[in-house]
């Protein structure tokens, strides 16, 4: 589809569907190339007046159509490639539609497709219309009965949503299963799976004493890798009961792992389908990060059962209603799991680690998006292809907007608001406004003078607000006045909408004050409008919550004799950028003693950012620059602060990412930036060699592997120490990396060593290790994905290496995980290689986007987004990036997915 025939869809055009869909009976006769789908749809008109029945379609053809048992002739309906319209129907009627599909030829992995030896579906957002003619929109909910039949030997398992009603053998070696889902659902939550699998299962009791069967289906031979997934699922069930009072509503909950999948996982009712990378995990083949991602994604999809499935979206503009809320829920789940069983202080540190990781993801992906050509509010107003709006903004910023409501209402208030939301909307398809209405109802009960009217602007305005802070200390009065002013640039479509006026946001802004020697100060406000944060205060943080709702406001605190150091936006209480002119000395105080672990990390990052950007400038001018002594001292002190938990210490000592740093540069000079960051790393490795070596020795995790956060933290600190030392060319560390690679008892240590070797070892041993790893793991696709990714991101990898790897027999563009592991990793996480001034990285991108687009446009458009911020780069890079974008835009037959991305990028 070209851009011309993919019109823009507007939120304001929403019209309710004129019919209810009372029941859906779907009969699917599975065959690799000729699957016959017969769907029987029972409709009732909502109004007395007749209305047109509109059904969606994509890439399917109509074999037969019956209305109330009578065949319909071609003159009785209108048929276009994407619509079937039967004019002026009223009352109740039954429509029977037959289509024939070729699942083996479906490389889009949308609708019904084959992967390996099984059949799978993916219907969100608009995949069901690739299976049958249907009102494929989330506000048309119905009860589904699904009959599946297939060859019994090849496909012994036939699965769909809900409960299994019957299984029967049929003639010719086929068999049949009938499934019934008792809950109303939209078509995007439909799923079917057929194949042969290993199954791991467990029956558990819900808090109301009901027995429910949990099952994990995975490829034959992979059952030993699903123990963690099943345990994670059980933990998710218990957590949602405990934290939100939400119980599993079905008797059976299934997760199926599949190798070919466009994203992470999908929350189909009772039958989640997962990218195998988020199911399979054992110590030999999965890293700590993999284990934690499996737990988080299993939690996320499970939590959708209530936030997404029981209460769903009215239309796709409301996507954040389910995604932002469910990301917030999975973040809280992980934080609670990480803090479980720890004392208050250790728990605060564990929670801070999770918050740091989430905020880092937001800043690396969402902040640039919110400043670029695709910028949109968490509830967009328009789109061309909905597939392009599963964005960091809808998900991650959406979660921040929910988190702010949690902060404003407090944990109890938020829980009451959630209860109210379900009381009002269970079983419905609703809007983001409906969610905020439920929260506001609870909020105004406890805060009679307040409402969430200004807060709602987070749903309609895009862009990252800048909050400028000034602090005035009056020594005579012993007062401190903090003045906060907000300003948010116009972004994305806001720039071309002439009437658009940006209004102030409601920003919950958590602050503390420290004395010059790092002691937390009690905060007593003159007007007492700042509230005490409704969270534990393990170290006497004295955090106060300022609510900025106007362009500028001030707060005055008393009893402060000497000029304090402000600790701002603690716990990242709002998705904003803070502007305050700290001195280096003040940042050093915060980075070593702020009792709020998040703010402490933030101060260290600010110090490192100054160093790296300063050096980038110097290197560009051909100068050298030594590291500041204060910075080095802070790094050394934190490295040796044994009172800190290892995982938190690893975060404190990790340099800001290139993506975060690039955001602070204008224009972006990716190659010098990357070199400067590398040089700072090398320098820190040298000046603190003794401390790093001690850290490397002290953080071994002997014995049986466990992915718990304490052990994982030790491994991350140990591997960080190894990489600093190797960056500094430390001979002993080089030897140690080779030993660790050979002796590793788990994949985290193996990859920690191999990563350091591939990036920093320049002798023969490097290639030997690469070959050795491949030979050892060539039969495990998820491990080979890591092998490709490691080489794609290695500091000295250039396009020739990537092209060589693309010709490797194990490479395939058709498998999304493999394409992501090599090409995406190179384009996204290898600045020196991708932005090489010879333009070879951009040429590779152009070819890959076009090649992928002809196979799988949804995956191609993700890769297309790599060029979003082309206009922020140096002029020489800009013009090359622009011409690559133009080349893609002008390609004949481009999908609407990629077309939307590149044309928006070029529009700025
Ligand atoms: N809801 C799915 C995402 C579907 C993406 C379709 N392009 C997974 C999730 O967010 O849980
Ligand atoms: Zn989701």
CATH no. for residue 902? 1.25.50.10
Under DSSP, is residue 229 helix (H, G, I), strand (E, B) or coil? helix
Is the model's pLDDT at 193 over the cut of 50? yes
Peptide bond before residue 214 is cis, with ω within 30 degrees of 0 = no
CA 99 to centroid of chain Cα atoms:
35
What number is the average pLDDT over the span 17-22?
A: 98
Cα 145 from Cα 183, distance rounded (Å)? 11
Q: Which of 594, 694, 572 is nearest to 642 (CA)?
A: 694
> Considering the domain boundaries, does residue 355 fall inside one?
no
Cα 132 from Cα 601, distance rounded (Å)? 52
Nearest-CA residue for ligand 1 atom 4 is: 124
Nearest-CA residue for ligand 1 atom 8 is: 266
**CB of 127 sitting under 6 A from ligand 1:** no
Residue-level pLDDT at 581: 98
Q: For a pocket test of ligand 1, which of 126, 138, 258, 263 has the largest count of ligand atoms closer than 8 A to its C-beta?
A: 263
- 847 in active site: no
Band the pLDDT of 1: cuts 50, 70, 90: very low
Band the pLDDT of 325: cuts 50, 70, 90: very high
What number is the average pLDDT over the span 746-755?
A: 98
Cα 725 from Cα 685, distance rounded (Å)? 5
The burial of 796, by beta-carbon neighbours within 10 Å (0-12 exposed, 13-18 middle, 19 or more buried), is given as exposed
Cα 111 from Cα 243, distance rounded (Å)? 35
Cα 387 to middle of ligand 2, angstroms: 13
> Considering the domain boundaries, does residue 15 fall inside one?
yes
Encode pLDDT of 97-129 as tens digits.
Answer: 999 999 999 999 999 999 999 999 999 999 999
Band the pLDDT of 538: cuts 50, 70, 90: low
Nearest-CA residue for ligand 1 atom 10 is: 323
Encode pLDDT of 775-812 as tens digits.
Answer: 999 999 999 999 999 999 999 999 999 999 999 999 99
Band the pLDDT of 3: cuts 50, 70, 90: very low
Band the pLDDT of 541: cuts 50, 70, 90: confident
Residue-level pLDDT at 535: 59
- Arithmetic mean of pLDDT over the chain: 97
> Considering the domain boundaries, does residue 283 fall inside one?
no
Question: Look-up: residue for tokens 């390609």?
Answer: 891
> Considering the domain boundaries, does residue 43 fall inside one?
yes
Residues with CB under 5 A from ligand 2 (ion): 323, 326
Is the model's pLDDT at 2 over the cut of 50? no
Give the range of the structural domain holding residue 854, as residue numbers without chain letter.
781-908
**Which listed residue (3, 126, 295, 301) is catalytic?**
301
Q: Which ligand is nearest to the CA of 124?
A: 1
Under DSSP, is residue 125 helix (H, G, I), strand (E, B) or coil? coil
What number is the average pLDDT over the span 621-634?
A: 96
Q: Which residues contact 130 (CB under 8 A, 6 or more apart)?
A: 58, 59, 60, 101, 106, 108, 110, 111, 112
Q: Which residues contact 776 (CB under 8 A, 6 or more apart)?
A: none
Nearest-CA residue for ligand 1 atom 1 is: 266
Nearest-CA residue for ligand 1 atom 7 is: 387
What number is the average pLDDT over the span 821-843?
A: 98
Q: Which ligand is nearest to the CA of 125?
A: 1
The rounded radius of gyration (Å) of the Cα atoms in the chain is 28
Cα 644 to middle of ligand 2, angstroms: 34
CA 779 to centroid of chain Cα atoms:
28
Q: Which of 141, 136, 140, 160 is nearest to 150 (CA)?
A: 160
Please give the biggest Cα pair distance in the chain.
95
Is the model's pLDDT at 526 over the cut of 90? no
Crossing angle of helices 227-244/288-303, nearest 10°? 50
Q: Where among 196, 213, 246 does a domain terminate?
A: 196
Is the model's pLDDT at 585 over the cut of 50? yes
8 Å CB contact between 145 and 180: yes
Q: Return the structure tokens found at 679.
A: 């040089």
Band the pLDDT of 534: cuts 50, 70, 90: low
8 Å CB contact between 138 and 314: yes
Strands 163-169 and 174-185: antiparallel
> Considering the domain boundaries, does residue 678 fall inside one?
no
**CB of 323 sitting under 6 A from ligand 1:** yes
Cα 337 to middle of ligand 2, angstroms: 19
Return phi, psi of residue 213, to 5°: -100, 120
Q: Where among 196, 225, 244 does a domain terminate?
A: 196
Q: Which ligand is nearest to the CA of 262?
A: 1
Could you tell me the pTM of the whole model?
0.98
- Looking at the structure of the chain, the number of domains it has is 2
Encode pLDDT of 695-729 as tens digits.
Answer: 999 999 999 999 999 999 999 999 999 999 999 99
Under DSSP, is residue 159 helix (H, G, I), strand (E, B) or coil? strand
Encode pLDDT of 250-296 as tens digits.
Answer: 999 999 999 999 999 999 999 999 999 999 999 999 999 999 999 99
Crossing angle of helices 799-806/781-793, nearest 10°? 160
8 Å CB contact between 351 and 648: no
Q: Which residues contact 291 (CB under 8 A, 6 or more apart)?
A: 228, 281, 707, 712
CA 827 to centroid of chain Cα atoms:
19
Q: For a pocket test of ligand 1, which of 261, 266, 329, 860 has the largest count of ligand atoms closer than 8 A to its C-beta?
A: 266
User: Degrees (nearest 5) of the Cα angle 872, 875, 880?
Assistant: 95
String of DSSP letters for 266-323: E--TTEEEEEGGGT---TTT--HHHHHHHHHHHHHHHHTTTBTTTBEESSGGGHHHHH
Q: Return the structure tokens found at 5.
A: 């025939």
Strands 252-258 and 198-205: unpaired
Q: Which residues contact 871 (CB under 8 A, 6 or more apart)?
A: 878, 882, 908
> Considering the domain boundaries, does residue 849 fall inside one?
yes
Band the pLDDT of 908: cuts 50, 70, 90: confident
Strands 51-56 and 83-89: antiparallel
8 Å CB contact between 39 and 71: no
Q: How many CA atoms lie within 13 A of 32 on its CB side?
A: 8
Band the pLDDT of 498: cuts 50, 70, 90: confident
Q: Which atom of ligand 1 is nearest to the CA of 323?
A: 10
8 Å CB contact between 154 and 196: yes
> Considering the domain boundaries, does residue 294 fall inside one?
no
Return phi, psi of residue 399, to 5°: -65, -35
CA 857 to centroid of chain Cα atoms:
20
Q: Which of 15, 435, 429, 432 is nearest to 187 (CA)?
A: 429
Cα 668 from Cα 864, distance rounded (Å)? 19
**CB of 330 sitting under 6 A from ligand 1:** no
Residue-level pLDDT at 708: 96
Is the model's pLDDT at 4 over the cut of 50? no
Residue 324 region, left (φ>0) first, then alpha (ψ -120 to 50), else beta?
Answer: alpha
> Considering the domain boundaries, does residue 151 fall inside one?
yes
Q: Where among 196, 218, 240 does a domain terminate?
A: 196
CATH number of the domain enclosing 124: 2.60.40.1730
């Amino acid at each position: 589809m070209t851009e011309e025939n993919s019109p823009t869809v507007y939120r304001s055009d929403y019209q309710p569907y004129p019919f209810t869909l009372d029941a859906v009976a779907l009969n699917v006769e599975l065959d690799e190339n000729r699957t016959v789908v017969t769907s029987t749809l029972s409709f009732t008109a909502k109004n007395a007046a007749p209305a047109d029945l509109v059904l969606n379609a994509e890439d399917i053809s109509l074999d037969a159509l019956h209305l109330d048992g009578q065949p319909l002739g071609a003159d009785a309906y209108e048929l276009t490639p994407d619509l079937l319209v039967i004019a002026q129907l009223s009352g109740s009627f039954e429509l029977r539609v037959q289509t024939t599909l070729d699942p083996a030829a479906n490389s889009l992995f949308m609708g019904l497709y084959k992967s390996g030896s099984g059949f799978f579906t993916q219907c969100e957002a608009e995949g069901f219309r690739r299976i049958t003619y249907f009102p494929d929109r989330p506000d048309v909910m119905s009860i589904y009965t699904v009959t599946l039949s297939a060859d019994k030997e090849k496909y012994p398992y036939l699965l769909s949503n809900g409960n299994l009603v019957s299984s029967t053998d049929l003639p010719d070696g086929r068999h049949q299963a009938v499934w019934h889902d008792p809950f109303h659902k939209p078509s995007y939550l439909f799923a079917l799976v057929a194949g042969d699998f290993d199954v791991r299962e467990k029956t558990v009791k819900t808090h109301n004493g009901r027995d429910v069967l949990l099952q994990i289906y995975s490829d034959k031979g992979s059952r030993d890798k699903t123990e963690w997934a099943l345990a994670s699922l059980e933990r998710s069930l218990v957590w949602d009961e405990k934290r939100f009072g939400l119980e599993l509503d079905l008797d059976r909950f299934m997760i199926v792992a599949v190798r070919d999948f466009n994203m992470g996982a999908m929350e189909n009712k009772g039958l989640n389908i997962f990218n195998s990378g988020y199911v399979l995990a054992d110590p030999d083949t999965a890293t700590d990060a993999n284990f934690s991602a499996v737990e988080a994604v299993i939690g996320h999809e499970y939590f959708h059962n209530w936030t997404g499935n029981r209460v769903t979206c009215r239309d796709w503009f409301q996507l954040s209603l389910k995604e932002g809320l469910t990301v917030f829920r999975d973040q809280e789940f992980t934080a609670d799991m990480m803090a479980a069983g720890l004392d208050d202080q250790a728990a605060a540190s564990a929670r801070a680690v999770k918050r740091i990781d989430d905020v880092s993801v937001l800043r690396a992906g969402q902040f640039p998006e919110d400043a670029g050509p695709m910028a949109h509010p968490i509830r967009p107003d328009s789109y061309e292809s909905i597939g392009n709006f599963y964005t960091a903004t809808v998900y991650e910023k959406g979660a921040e907007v929910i988190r702010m409501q949690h902060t404003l209402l407090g944990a109890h208030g938020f829980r009451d608001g959630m209860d109210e939301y379900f009381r009002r909307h269970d079983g419905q398809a609703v809007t983001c406004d409906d969610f905020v209405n439920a929260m506001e109802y609870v909020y105004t009960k406890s805060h009679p003078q307040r409402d969430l009217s200004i807060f709602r602007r987070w749903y309609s305005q895009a862009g990252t607000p800048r909050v400028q802070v000034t602090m005035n200390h009056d020594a005579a009065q012993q007062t401190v006045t903090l003045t906060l002013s907000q300003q948010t640039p116009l972004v994305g479509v806001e720039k071309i909408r002439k009437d658009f006026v940006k209004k102030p946001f409601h920003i919950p802004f958590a602050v503390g004050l420290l004395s010059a020697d790092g002691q937390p100060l009690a905060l007593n406000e003159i007007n007492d409008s700042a509230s005490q944060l409704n969270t534990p205060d393990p170290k006497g943080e004295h955090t106060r919550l300022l609510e900025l709702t106007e362009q500028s406001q001030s707060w005055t605190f008393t009893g402060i004799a000497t000029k304090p150091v402000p600790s701002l936006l603690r716990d990242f209480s709002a998705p904003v950028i803070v502007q305050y002119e700290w001195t280096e000395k003040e940042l050093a105080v915060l980075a070593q003693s702020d009792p709020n672990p998040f703010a402490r990390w933030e101060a260290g990052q600010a110090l490192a950012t100054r160093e790296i950007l300063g050096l980038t400038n110097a290197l560009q001018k051909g100068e050298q620059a030594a590291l500041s002594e204060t910075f080095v001292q802070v790094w050394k002190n934190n490295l040796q602060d044994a009172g800190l938990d290892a995982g938190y210490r690893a975060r404190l000592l990790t340099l800001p990412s290139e993506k975060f740093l690039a955001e602070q540069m204008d224009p972006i000079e990716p190659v010098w930036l990357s070199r400067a960051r590398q040089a700072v790393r090398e320098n820190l490795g040298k000046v603190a060699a003794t401390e790093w070596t001690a850290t490397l020795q002290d953080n071994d995790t002997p014995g049986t592997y466990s992915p718990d956060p304490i052990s994982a933290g030790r491994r991350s600190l140990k591997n960080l120490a190894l990489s600093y030392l190797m960056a500094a060319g430390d001979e002993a560390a080089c030897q140690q990396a080779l030993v660790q690679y050979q002796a590793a008892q788990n994949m985290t240590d193996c990859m920690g060593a191999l990563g350091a070797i591939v990036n920093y070892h320049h002798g023969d041993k490097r290639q030997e290790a690469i070959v050795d790893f491949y030979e050892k793991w060539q039969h495990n696709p998820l491990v080979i994905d890591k092998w490709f990714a490691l080489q794609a991101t290695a500091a000295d990898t250039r396009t020739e290496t990537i092209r060589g790897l693309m010709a490797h027999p194990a490479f395939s563009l058709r498998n999304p995980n493999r394409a992501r592991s090599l090409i995406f990793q190179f384009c996204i996480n290898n600045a020196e290689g991708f932005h090489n001034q010879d333009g070879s990285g951009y040429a590779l991108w152009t070819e890959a986007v076009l090649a992928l687009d002809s196979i799988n446009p949804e995956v191609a458009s993700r890769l297309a987004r790599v060029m979003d911020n082309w206009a922020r780069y140096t002029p020489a890079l800009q013009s090359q990036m622009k011409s690559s974008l133009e080349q893609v835009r002008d390609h004949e037959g481009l999908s609407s997915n990629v077309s939307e991305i590149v044309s928006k990028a070029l529009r700025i």
